[in-house]
Amino acid sequence: MNLPAGGHNSIFSQISHAATSSFSEYLARSAPDMLPGARTAGMPSGMAAEAVAPHATTIVAMTYAGGVLMAGDRRATMGNMIASRHIEKVFPADMYSVLGIAGTAGIALDVTRLFQVELEHYEKIEGTLLSLEGKANRLGAMIRGNLPMALQGLAVIPLFAGFDLDRRVGRLFSYDVTGGRYEEQEHHSVGSGSVFARGALKKLWKPNLDEAQAVLVSVEALYDAADDDSATGGPDVVRQLWPVVYTVNAAGARRIPERDLAAAAEAVIASRAVAGREA
């Protein structure tokens, strides 16, 4: 292609190359060692990565009337040990989207932080929000950047949910380690307890749940995951620790307050105790 201002080495192409709206692209050029995927320090092969780095577990997400919801338990594990009871794995990405992470906690938290700055950076430079698809694609590119680490056993699998301001609906996206992006319908779950959470969601989720019902369904799905997966933490009534739940609708992302989650968790525990059956 022949640009009016000249070829590939013209001033125009130099300027347009320097002027990127992407924070991660800028970082890759000016300080590549700060990117999460850049740390390819060779691990001794044959060493189990999950035994040395904390692992974050189950995330569930679902659509409800007018938006999407995402919830994560509070446990991180390291081999057979509990590394943290307080870890938070669901974060607001910007005003209209949230992401949850499963996999190697350290890298996942870095990817989250980078993604949050990426979206805010674009918004400040361009003066407008990225489209929801655009955000989902950027996250995919970041996960792809982490592929060498994933092949060494330090994988990060996010779940992304947001409110599409053009279509006026909540949408869900899941990813694989190669950065492949898949749009999910109705509900989805990632992490070690996802099999059980997904089973629960299939029975509990219905179209057009309201927000309070959706919160209850997410807490119950995580309860079921924690029941059968040792790496997923259930509601902790002793320490008063509840899942982290975010909803996103036309008004933006909102964190569900602790007291609502306490009520939801206690309702789930009570209904199971009253039934008095084996699960």
Q: Which stretch, 6-14, 25-33, 166-174, 227-235, contacts other proteins (CB under 8 A)?
A: 25-33
- Give CA–CA dist 279/276, Å, rounded: 8
CB of 23 to other proteins, least distance (A): 6
- Chain centroid to Cα 79, Å, comes to 22
Counting contacts by CB under 8 A, is residue 120 touching other proteins? yes
Say if CB 199 and CB 223 are below 8 A apart: no
**Region for residue 216 given its phi and psi (left: phi exceeds 0; alpha: psi -120 to 50; beta: otherwise):** alpha
Counting contacts by CB under 8 A, is residue 27 touching other proteins? yes
Counting contacts by CB under 8 A, is residue 11 touching other proteins? no
- Give CA–CA dist 53/229, Å, rounded: 19
Of 43, 49, 125, 147, the one binding other proteins (CB under 8 A) is 125
| Active site positions, annotated | 57
Tell me, by CB under 8 A, how many residues bind other proteins: 16
Residue written as token pair 């792809």: 144
List CB contacts of 219: < 8 A, sequence separation 6 or more: 71, 235, 242, 243, 245, 261, 264, 265, 268
CB of 88 to other proteins, least distance (A): 17
Counting contacts by CB under 8 A, is residue 274 touching other proteins? no
Say if CB 76 and CB 193 are below 8 A apart: no
Q: ∠48-49-53 over CA atoms, to 5°?
A: 135
- The DSSP bridge partners found for residue 174 are 159, 182
CB of 26 to other proteins, least distance (A): 6
Counting contacts by CB under 8 A, is residue 250 touching other proteins? no
Of 55, 121, 171, 187, the one binding other proteins (CB under 8 A) is 121
Q: Which stretch, 113-121, 161-169, 177-185, 237-245, contacts other proteins (CB under 8 A)?
A: 113-121
- Rounded to the nearest 10 degrees, what angle do helices 194-204 and 211-228 cross at? 140
Counting contacts by CB under 8 A, is residue 28 touching other proteins? no
Counting contacts by CB under 8 A, is residue 113 touching other proteins? yes
- Give CA–CA dist 149/167, Å, rounded: 36
Of 65, 117, 165, 212, the one binding other proteins (CB under 8 A) is 117
Q: Which stretch, 58-66, 115-123, 149-157, 267-275, contacts other proteins (CB under 8 A)?
A: 115-123
Counting contacts by CB under 8 A, is residue 114 touching other proteins? yes
- The DSSP bridge partners found for residue 249 are 67, 252
Counting contacts by CB under 8 A, is residue 4 touching other proteins? no
Of 2, 30, 40, 45, the one binding other proteins (CB under 8 A) is 30
- Chain centroid to Cα 139, Å, comes to 10
Which residues in this chain contact other proteins in the complex, by CB under 8 A? 19, 23, 26-27, 30-31, 34, 95, 113-114, 117, 120-121, 124-125, 127
